[in-house]
C-alpha cells in the first residue's frame, strides 16, 4: 500500500484501467441503462433543489459565486453593520432579477426574491424608489430578506437541526423506501472541548437512532471531530484516544443494533485511520455485529489496497465507496510541502476509473458489504451491470442531491439506497453546504454536467476508461508535479512527507545524531581586516566570471543542500532549537533562494541594448559592486544566511558573511558546501563572532554594500556607520527587521480557520519569526467566541524537545531572550488571558495570550511566543488599519474576512511589505511571496522577489557613436529606399 502513496499516476492507473474496462456488449447494456437513469434524473429536476440551484446559478457565474460566499458567512455574523456590508459586497454587482421566477422550484424562487430585494436596496442610490419605500422600515428589512434566503438554503440541504428532527423528516413520503446515515457534522475539532462536544453528539445520535433499529438508519463518525490533534506527529497520543472513543461508540451502536461507519479523512491520516479501525474491528466484544464500516475515497491512489485490507479483517465490513471530498486541499498541500507526487488522481476521469475498479473489487470481496455513493448515472448503471441479480449491496447519495436517480431502483426494483444526511444548526452547516456544492458542482462533475443543457447525452455518458486510456493515464497537464511548480523559472525544493511513518521515524533518527559543533569563534575584529582584504583581491576575477557560471554554482549548491539535508536539519534542531517541520522548511528555503536567484541572474543580469538614434549604440551593463558584508540572524540561520549571501555572489560580488553568534555551525557547513559547489574560497569568507566583528565589518570602507537581517536598532546603527565617514563612498544597505505584526478579524470570518492561522502565526517557531503575529485585533462582536476557541486551541500545544515530532514549541534561542521575555510576561500577569505550563528544564517561554485595551498599548516587538489581543468596532476597519500603521512598523499584516471590499480596503491602506488574507502570516515562499518590510521594518527590496538582485549591482551605461568609425553598416544593407 505504501508504495502507491506517491507513485506516478500512469503506473497506478494501468491496472485500474484493465479492471474497470467493460466488454463491448456489457458497455452497450450499461449505456442503455444509464440513458434510462438519465431520463429519470432530468424528469426529477423540478424536485431536486441542488440540481435546480445549479441550473439557475452556475458556479462559474458571478451570481453563483456570490450566493455561495454569502451562504458560507451570513448566518454567523451577529452584528447588523457587518451583515449589511456582507450583503452589499455579495449582492451589489449580481443580476438577481434575471433569475426571479425562472426556477421550477418554489424554494429556489423564494430564495431568489429575497436576494432581489436585497440587491435593489444595496444597489440603488439613496433616492431610489424602493430605498424611499423601505427607508421607514430600516435596514433590518434587507437582513430579514437575505436571512430568509439563507435559511431556506440551509433547511433544504440539512436533514434536521437535531437528530430527532432529522429522523422525523426521514418519515416523510419523499424519503419512502430510503434509509439514512446521519452525520452530526463534526468538522475537525480545534479544541479538546470541541472533541468532547462532538463525541457527546454522536452518543446522543446513536441513542436516538437506536430507539427504532427497524428503521435501518445508521450513524457516520468523523474521527478528526473527536480529537483536535489527529496528526501523525501525535500518533502515540491521538490514536489510542480515538481508538478508545470509537470502541465506545461501536459498542453502543452494536448494543442498539444499528450500523456505524467511520468517514474518510485526508490522505495523510489514512494509516492512522486504518490503525484505529483495525483495532476496533478486532475487538472480541463486537464479534457477530455486522454493523461496523468505513468509507474509502476513490480519488486516492491507495483505494484498492485499502479495500483489500478491509476484506482481510476477519469480519464483515460495510465499506462506503465515495469519490472524495478534499481534492483541492490535498493538491495544494502536496505542492506546498514539495512532495514527490500526489496521493490522489489529478483527472476527474481517473477518479471515475478508480471508482469502477474498486467497485468491482468490492462486489467480488467475500467479507465486504458494499455501499456505492454516487450521483453519476453511468457509475450506477455500471455497478448494476456488474452486480447482476445481486441485491446484497446498497447505493448512497447526499441529502438534497440525486433526486430521481434512485427512486425507481428502490421502489420498483428492490435496491437499497441510503441518504447521507447532515444534522446540525444551519449557522454551522452552511460552510459544509458550500463545500458540497463546490465539490459536486465543479464543471467536471456529473451533477454540473446534468444541469448543463448544452451537453449531449453522449457527452454526459462518455466512458471514463476510454478517456484515461486515450491519454495513457497521464497526469492533468495543468497540475504540475510539485518540483515543477515554479517552472520554467526554477525547480521547487523537495520536502519530506512526515505523514509517512517510515519517513518520520528516519527523520527523527537523523536529527538526533550527535554532531561535533565548532566553536563560535572569538569576537575578534582583527579577523575582519584579513577577510575583507582577501575578498577585495578576489573581486575582479569573480566579477568577470560569466553570469551563467555563477548561477550554475548556486544550482549546484542547492543540490548539495538537499543531498546533505539530514545533516543540516540536525544542526538546525540542535543549534537553533528548530522543530522538525521548521528545520525542513529552513533547508528548503535555502535551496529555493539558490535556484531562484540563479534563474533571476540568468534572465536579468545581462547586458541590454537600449534604443537610440541611427549611428549610435547604447548598452546597459549590470556589474558587481565589490565586497559585500552579509549579516544574518539566528532565527533563520541557514535560509537567510544563504539567501543574502548567494544573491550578492550571483550578482558578481564577493562576500564576507557573518552569522549570528548563536548559530555558527550551520553557517560554517553552508559555506563549506558553497565552496564545494564552485564558489572560490576567497569569494565567500566566513567571519563568525559577535557585535565587535559586525561593527568592524560594517566600518571597513572597502565594503561596497551591507545586507542585514535583525533588529531595527542594529539596522539603524549600521546605517549610521555607513555614513559616518565623509570620505567613504555611499553604499547600499539592505535591511530586513522586525515588526508589530497585526491580524484583523471581522465577524464574517470563520472562527475555526482564524484560530488555526493565529496559532500557527503566533506560536510556531516559538514566536521567533520576524513575520510572527504579535497583535490580534478581533471585531468586538465576536471577540469572546474567538478568544474562547483560541485558548482551547492553545491547550493542544506541546512544549518540549524540538527533535520530538510531537513538539509544537521548542525553547527560545538563549538565556538573554528567555530572561527578557519572562520578565515581560511577569509584568503583564494581571492581563494574561491564557498561558501554558512549561518544562522545568530548558529555556521554554510558554505561549501566552495577553489582553490589552488599545492598539496603542503595544509599542514594541516582543520576539517570542507572546500574543496580544484587542478589539475593534464594526465599521472602523480603515481607522483600525491607520492605528496599526501609525506604529511605524511595516512588515506583515493579516486580514480574515469574507467581505471582498474589506480585502480591497486593507490592501489599499495597509503600509506593510506582506499582507496575508484568510491565511496564516508566516512562511513566505521564495518567488511567490517576496518578503520584506518598510518603515521601521526594513529598506527593501524584498528577498525572494524579482527586484532583489538589482540592489546588489552597479549599472553602467555605455554609448558608442558608430558613425565616427565608418558609419552604420546596417543602413548600407537595407533594400531599396536607402540612400
Active site residues: 736, 770
Contact 297/325 with Cβ under 8 angstroms?
A: yes
Sign of the torsion formed by the C-alpha atoms of 481, 487, 491 and 492: negative
Sign of the torsion formed by the C-alpha atoms of 24, 29, 30 and 36: positive
Q: How far is CA 634 from the centre of its chain?
A: 27
Contact 533/540 with Cβ under 8 angstroms?
A: no
Contact 372/321 with Cβ under 8 angstroms?
A: yes
Which strands form 627-631's sheet, in the order they lie side by side?
684-686, 654-658, 627-631, 703-709, 733-736
Contact 225/249 with Cβ under 8 angstroms?
A: no
Q: Which residues pair with 851 in a beta bridge?
A: 869
| Sequence-separated contacts (24+) of 121-125 with Cβ below 8 Å | 122/84, 122/87, 122/88, 122/91, 122/92, 123/91, 123/92, 123/93
Contact 818/827 with Cβ under 8 angstroms?
A: no
Number of H helices, E strands in the chain: 36, 25
Other beta carbons less than 10 A from residue 482's beta carbon: 23
**Do the strands 953-961 and 616-624 form a parallel or antiparallel pair, or are they unpaired?**
antiparallel
Q: How far is the C-alpha of 116 from the C-alpha of 104, rounded, in Å?
A: 17
Q: Which residues pair with 318 in a beta bridge?
A: 293, 369
Distances 149 to 133, 240, 423, 449 between C-alpha atoms, Å: 21, 44, 19, 25
Those residues whose C-beta lies under 8 Å from the C-beta of residue 709, and which sit 6 or more positions away, are: 631, 632, 633, 636, 640, 644, 735, 736, 737, 770
Q: How far is the C-alpha of 587 from the C-alpha of 740, rounded, in Å?
A: 27
Distances 21 to 30, 298, 374, 386 between C-alpha atoms, Å: 12, 16, 19, 11
Which strands form 914-917's sheet, in the order they lie side by side?
832-835, 848-851, 866-872, 775-779, 742-745, 892-896, 914-917
Contact 884/911 with Cβ under 8 angstroms?
A: no
Contact 205/253 with Cβ under 8 angstroms?
A: no
- The one-character DSSP state at 102 is T
Other beta carbons less than 10 A from residue 819's beta carbon: 13
Distances 28 to 37, 354, 385, 413, 683 between C-alpha atoms, Å: 14, 21, 10, 21, 72
Contact 595/493 with Cβ under 8 angstroms?
A: yes
Those residues whose C-beta lies under 8 Å from the C-beta of residue 646, and which sit 6 or more positions away, are: 554, 557, 593, 594, 597, 674
Length of the chain: 979
Phi then psi dihedrals of residue 226, to 5 deg = -100, -10
Q: How far is the C-alpha of 441 from the C-alpha of 451, rounded, in Å?
A: 9
Task: Return the residue matching grid coordinates 548556486.
Answer: 554
Distances 67 to 89, 90, 98, 115 between C-alpha atoms, Å: 11, 7, 14, 9
Q: How far is the C-alpha of 160 from the C-alpha of 545, rounded, in Å?
A: 72
Amino acid at each position: 500500500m505504501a508504495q502507491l502513496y506517491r507513485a506516478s499516476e500512469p503506473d497506478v492507473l494501468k491496472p485500474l484501467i484493465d479492471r474497470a474496462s467493460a466488454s463491448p456488449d456489457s458497455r452497450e447494456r450499461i449505456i442503455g441503462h444509464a440513458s434510462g437513469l438519465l431520463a429519470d434524473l432530468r424528469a426529477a429536476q423540478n424536485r431536486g433543489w441542488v440540481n435546480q440551484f445549479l441550473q439557475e446559478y452556475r458556479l462559474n457565474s458571478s451570481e453563483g459565486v456570490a450566493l455561495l460566499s454569502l451562504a458560507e458567512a451570513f448566518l454567523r455574523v451577529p452584528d447588523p453593520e457587518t451583515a449589511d456590508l456582507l450583503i452589499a459586497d455579495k449582492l451589489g454587482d449580481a443580476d438577481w432579477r434575471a433569475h426571479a421566477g425562472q426556477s421550477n422550484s418554489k424554494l429556489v424562487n423564494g430564495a431568489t426574491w429575497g436576494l432581489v430585494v436585497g440587491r435593489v436596496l444595496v444597489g440603488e442610490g439613496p433616492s431610489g424608489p424602493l430605498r424611499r419605500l423601505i427607508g421607514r422600515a430600516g435596514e433590518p428589512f434587507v437582513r430579514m430578506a437575505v436571512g430568509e434566503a439563507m435559511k431556506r438554503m440551509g433547511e433544504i440541504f440539512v436533514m434536521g437541526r437535531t437528530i430527532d428532527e432529522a429522523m422525523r423528516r426521514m418519515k416523510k413520503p419523499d424519503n419512502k423506501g430510503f434509509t439514512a446515515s446521519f452525520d452530526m457534522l463534526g468538522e475537525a475539532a480545534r479544541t479538546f472541548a470541541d472533541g468532547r462536544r462532538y463525541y457527546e453528539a454522536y452518543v446522543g445520535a446513536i441513542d436516538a437512532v437506536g430507539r427504532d433499529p427497524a428503521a435501518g438508519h445508521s450513524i457516520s463518525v468523523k474521527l478528526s471531530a473527536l480529537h483536535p490533534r489527529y496528526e501523525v506527529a501525535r500518533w502515540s497520543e491521538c490514536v489510542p484516544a480515538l481508538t478508545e472513543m470509537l470502541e465506545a461508540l461501536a459498542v453502543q451502536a452494536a448494543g442498539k443494533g444499528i450500523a456505524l461507519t467511520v468517514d474518510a479523512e485526508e490522505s495523510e491520516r489514512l494509516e492512522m485511520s486504518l490503525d484505529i479501525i483495525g483495532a476496533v474491528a478486532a475487538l472480541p466484544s463486537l464479534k457477530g455485529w455486522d454493523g461496523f464500516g468505513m468509507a474509502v475515497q476513490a480519488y486516492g491512489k491507495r483505494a484498492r489496497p485499502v479495500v483489500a485490507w478491509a476484506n482481510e479483517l476477519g469480519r464483515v465490513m460495510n465499506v462506503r465507496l465515495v469519490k472524495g471530498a478534499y481534492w483541492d486541499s490535498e493538491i495544494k498541500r502536496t505542492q506546498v510541502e514539495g512532495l514527490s507526487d500526489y496521493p490522489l488522481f489529478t483527472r476527474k476521469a481517473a477518479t471515475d476509473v478508480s471508482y469502477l475498479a474498486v467497485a468491482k473489487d468490492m462486489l467480488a470481496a467475500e467479507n465486504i458489504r458494499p455501499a456505492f455513493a454516487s450521483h453519476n448515472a453511468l457509475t450506477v448503471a455500471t455497478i448494476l451491470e456488474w452486480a447482476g441479480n445481486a441485491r446484497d449491496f446498497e447505493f448512497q447519495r447526499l441529502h438534497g442531491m440525486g433526486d430521481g436517480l434512485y427512486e425507481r431502483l428502490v421502489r420498483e426494483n428492490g435496491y437499497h439506497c441510503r441518504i447521507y444526511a447532515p444534522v446540525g444548526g444551519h449557522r454551522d452547516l452552511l460552510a459544509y453546504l458550500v463545500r458540497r456544492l463546490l465539490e459536486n458542482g465543479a464543471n467536471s462533475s456529473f451533477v454540473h454536467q446534468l444541469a448543463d443543457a448544452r451537453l449531449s447525452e453522449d457527452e454526459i455518458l462518455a466512458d471514463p476508461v476510454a478517456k484515461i486510456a486515450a491519454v495513457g493515464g497521464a497526469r492533468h497537464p495543468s497540475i504540475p508535479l510539485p518540483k515543477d511548480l515554479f517552472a520554467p523559472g526554477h525547480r521547487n525544493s523537495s520536502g519530506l512527507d512526515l505523514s509517512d511513518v517510515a519517513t518520520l521515524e528516519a527523520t527523527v533518527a537523523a536529527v538526533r545524531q550527535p554532531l561535533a559543533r565548532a566553536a563560535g569563534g572569538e569576537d575578534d575584529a582583527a579577523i575582519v581586516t584579513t577577510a575583507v582584504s582577501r575578498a577585495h583581491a578576489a573581486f575582479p576575477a569573480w566579477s568577470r566570471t560569466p553570469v551563467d557560471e555563477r548561477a550554475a554554482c548556486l544550482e549546484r549548491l542547492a543540490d548539495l543542500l538537499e543531498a546533505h539535508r539530514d545533516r543540516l536539519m540536525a544542526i538546525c534542531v540542535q543549534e537553533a532549537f528548530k522543530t522538525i517541520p521548521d528545520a525542513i522548511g529552513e533547508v528548503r528555503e535555502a535551496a529555493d533562494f539558490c535556484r531562484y536567484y540563479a534563474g533571476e541572474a540568468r534572465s536579468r543580469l545581462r547586458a541590454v541594448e537600449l534604443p537610440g538614434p541611427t549611428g549610435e549604440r547604447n548598452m546597459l551593463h549590470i556589474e558587481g559592486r565589490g565586497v559585500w558584508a552579509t549579516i544574518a540572524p539566528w532565527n533563520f540561520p541557514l535560509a537567510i544566511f544563504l539567501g543574502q549571501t548567494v544573491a550578492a555572489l550571483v550578482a558578481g560580488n564577493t562576500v564576507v558573511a557573518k552569522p549570528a553568534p548563536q548559530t555558527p555551525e550551520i553557517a560554517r557547513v553552508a559555506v563549506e558546501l558553497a565552496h564545494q559547489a564552485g564558489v572560490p574560497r576567497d569569494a565567500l569568507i566566513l567571519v563568525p563572532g559577535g557585535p565587535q566583528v559586525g561593527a568592524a565589518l560594517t566600518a571597513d570602507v572597502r565594503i561596497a554594500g551591507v545586507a542585514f537581517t535583525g533588529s531595527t536598532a542594529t539596522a539603524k546603527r549600521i546605517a549610521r556607520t555607513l555614513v559616518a565617514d565623509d570620505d567613504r563612498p555611499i553604499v547600499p544597505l539592505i535591511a530586513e527587521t522586525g515588526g508589530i505584526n497585526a491580524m484583523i478579524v471581522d465577524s464574517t470570518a470563520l472562527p475555526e480557520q482564524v484560530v488555526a492561522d493565529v496559532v500557527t502565526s503566533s506560536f510556531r517557531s516559538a514566536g521567533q519569526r520576524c513575520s510572527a503575529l504579535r497583535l490580534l485585533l478581533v471585531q468586538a462582536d465576536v471577540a469572546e467566541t474567538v478568544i474562547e476557541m483560541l485558548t482551547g486551541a492553545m491547550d493542544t500545544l506541546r512544549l518540549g524537545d524540538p527533535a520530538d515530532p510531537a513538539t509544537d514549541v521548542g525553547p527560545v534561542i538563549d538565556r538573554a531572550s528567555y530572561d527578557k521575555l519572562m520578565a515581560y510576561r511577569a509584568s503583564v500577569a494581571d492581563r494574561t488571558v491564557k498561558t501554558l505550563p512549561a518544562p522545568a528544564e530548558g529555556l521554554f517561554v510558554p505561549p501566552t495570550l495577553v489582553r490589552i485595551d488599545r492598539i496603542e498599548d503595544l509599542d514594541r516587538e516582543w520576539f517570542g511566543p507572546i500574543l496580544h489581543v484587542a478589539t475593534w468596532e464594526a465599521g472602523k476597519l480603515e481607522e483600525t488599519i491607520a492605528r496599526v500603521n501609525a506604529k511605524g512598523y511595516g512588515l506583515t499584516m493579516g486580514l480574515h474576512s469574507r467581505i471582498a471590499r474589506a480585502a480591497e480596503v486593507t490592501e489599499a491602506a495597509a503600509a506593510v511589505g506582506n499582507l496575508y488574507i484568510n491565511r496564516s502570516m508566516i512562511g513566505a515562499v521564495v518567488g511567490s511571496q517576496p518578503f520584506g518590510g518598510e518603515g521601521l521594518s526594513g529598506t527593501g527590496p524584498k528577498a525572494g522577489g524579482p527586484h532583489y538582485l538589482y540592489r546588489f549591482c552597479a549599472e553602467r551605461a555605455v554609448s558608442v557613436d558608430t558613425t565616427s568609425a565608418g558609419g552604420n553598416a546596417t543602413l548600407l544593407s537595407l533594400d531599396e529606399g536607402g540612400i
